[in-house]
Amino acid sequence: MASTLDSTDATDRDVTTIAYGTCHHDCPDSCGWIATVENGVAVKLRGDPDHPFSKGELCPKVNHFIDRTYSDKRVTTPLRRVGPKGSGEFEAISWETALEEISAQLHIVIGAHGAEAVLPFSGAGNQSVLAMWFPYRLWNALGVTRLQGALCGAVAGAGVAMTNGTKLALDPEELAHSKLIIIWGSNTRLTNRHLWPTIEAARGGGARIIVIDPIRTITADEADQFIQPLPGTDVALMLAMVHVIIRDGLQDHEWVAAHTLGFAELEEHVGEWTPQRAAEICGLAEDEIVALAREYATTRPAAIRTLIGAEHREHGGMFFRTLACLPALVGAWRDRGGGLARSVGSWTDLAIDHDALSRPDLLGTREPRVLDEVRLADILTNSELNPSVHALFVWGTNPMVSVPNTELLRKGFERSDLFTVVHEQFLTDTARYADIVLPATTQLESVDVTPA
Ligand code: SF4
């Protein structure tokens, strides 16, 4: 839960309060913090020692969060563009004027082209559930174009679900019970640092830690074994592991028979994926692959830990689809501390009633078109699109630096017949192309709910 700061009116001067919150970064750790607030101004931020996962430690990414919150570069009032799109030339206007102009433009666009000419484009922003989902009430009421997909996380979830039938996976804290932990394509000590003590505790209990990564990371440096396949060859390594496990009869026959489908097809598929072939593709020694497969199949409980790094490449979904075959093959799911641990976002999704927040019932019988979020550049520049997008609302994201094909996207944002509203804390690369910029709060300045 993020906090509210006291206002500095005459009634609360010289008041020091404590506010609790959750880190706003899109990070698996979701650290809890405590802000000391003096006269309505946050003066100190520290980790919450009672937060069960982060236990009071924040990482350097939030060292300057208070400075950022009170930066003189913040957008603190609505802005209207006065220069060319992208120039960053704006004038301050009142909220009333901004809302009137936005409303007038919406009426013009919808009147001329229909509601589907309006496109909302959002991201996780402060990771705040209300800020993410509440605006969709308006969009559903209007019946505007919707987007599907995500720039991050969706591919990994889809890949795992193709094998397991669900995106849900092992709670990473269960790694404490593992005897073998394979960290595959994740730099835990840097990007998921609060999980590392759990992994170290498992090692203290006798677990071996193997890191598989094309890059020698600081996590690889602390592993008992580091395996470094060439970039983009992980799936070949996984298939060779499956090959060895089946060839050597190390699969969990009972588990496979009771809980899986398609074993015969898998066996046939991996027939050609010999360790020799994978060794050539991956740049590894054949013996190393065989030993890895055998150790994984014969150690219990055995866990694989991955996050989303591998999805950020072509065919990234196959990494997760193939990886998820391994614990099913060896019956790792039998054991506490065995299985596949990945993003816990799909667990928190279960706890959130998105429909209650976004109210799709407001659509009634309308079924607006659905476009692909990743293709925003195409969407804004495709003259064949009917209707073209003429009003774009951006919040909680900075597509000019996160969406593929930046140059094409820039052309889209530069269109003179596109009315763009950006809700932002700073004048970002995207906000510079807005017709109207609306100021957004940081996590320190709003009350919201953050999954953690
Ligand atoms: S580890 Fe992650 S959640 Fe914790 S403070 Fe750093 S960025 Fe935020």
- Indicate the CATH number of 154-342 among 3.40.1160.10, 3.40.228.10, 3.90.180.10, 3.30.70.260: 3.40.228.10
Please tell me the residue having the least CA distance from ligand 1 atom 3: 30
Q: Does domain 10-69 have CATH number 1.20.1250.20?
A: no
Calculate the CA dihedral of residues 178, 180, 185, 189 and round it to 10 degrees.
Answer: 60
- Pocket test of ligand 1: the residue of 59, 63, 126, 443 to mutate, having most ligand atoms within 8 Å of its CB, is 59
Each residue of 206-254: pLDDT tens digit?
Answer: 999 999 999 999 999 999 999 999 999 999 999 999 999 999 999 999 9
CATH architecture of 79-151+353-445: 3-Layer(aba) Sandwich (3.40)
Q: Number of helices and strands (H, E) in the chain?
A: 20, 16
Q: Given this model, what pLDDT does residue 411 score?
A: 98
> If pLDDT is split at 50, 70 and 90, which confidence band does 13 have?
low
Q: Is 54 in the pocket of ligand 1 (CB under 6 A)?
A: yes
Say if residue 451 is preceded by a cis peptide, omega within 30 of 0. no
Stretch 414-443: mean pLDDT = 98
Burial class for 68, CB neighbours closer than 10 Å (0-12, 13-18, 19+): middle
- Pocket test of ligand 1: the residue of 23, 65, 193, 307 to mutate, having most ligand atoms within 8 Å of its CB, is 23
130 pLDDT exceeds 80?
Answer: yes
Distance CA 421, CA 77 (A): 14
Query: Ligand 1 center to residue 59 CA distance, Å?
Result: 5
> If pLDDT is split at 50, 70 and 90, which confidence band does 152 have?
confident
SS3 content of the chain, % helix, strand, coil (to 5): 45, 15, 40
12 pLDDT exceeds 60?
Answer: no
- Pocket test of ligand 1: the residue of 53, 62, 63 to mutate, having most ligand atoms within 8 Å of its CB, is 62
Stretch 140-147: mean pLDDT = 97
Instruction: Give the whole-number percent of the chain exceeding pLDDT 90.
Output: 90
320 pLDDT exceeds 70?
Answer: yes
Query: Ligand 1 center to residue 352 CA distance, Å?
Result: 22
Each residue of 36-53: pLDDT tens digit?
Answer: 999 999 999 999 999 999
Instruction: Give the whole-number percent of the chain exceeding pLDDT 70.
Output: 97
Query: Ligand 1 center to residue 368 CA distance, Å?
Result: 37
What was the ipTM of the complex prediction? Answer: 0.99
Distance CA 158, CA 54 (A): 28
10 pLDDT exceeds 50?
Answer: no
Q: Is 62 in the pocket of ligand 1 (CB under 6 A)?
A: yes
Q: Is 48 in the pocket of ligand 1 (CB under 6 A)?
A: no
Say if residue 301 is preceded by a cis peptide, omega within 30 of 0. yes
Q: Given this model, what pLDDT does residue 150 score?
A: 82
Stretch 159-178: mean pLDDT = 96
Mean pLDDT of the chain: 94
Query: In the chain, what are the domain boundaries?
Result: 10-69, 79-151+353-445, 154-342
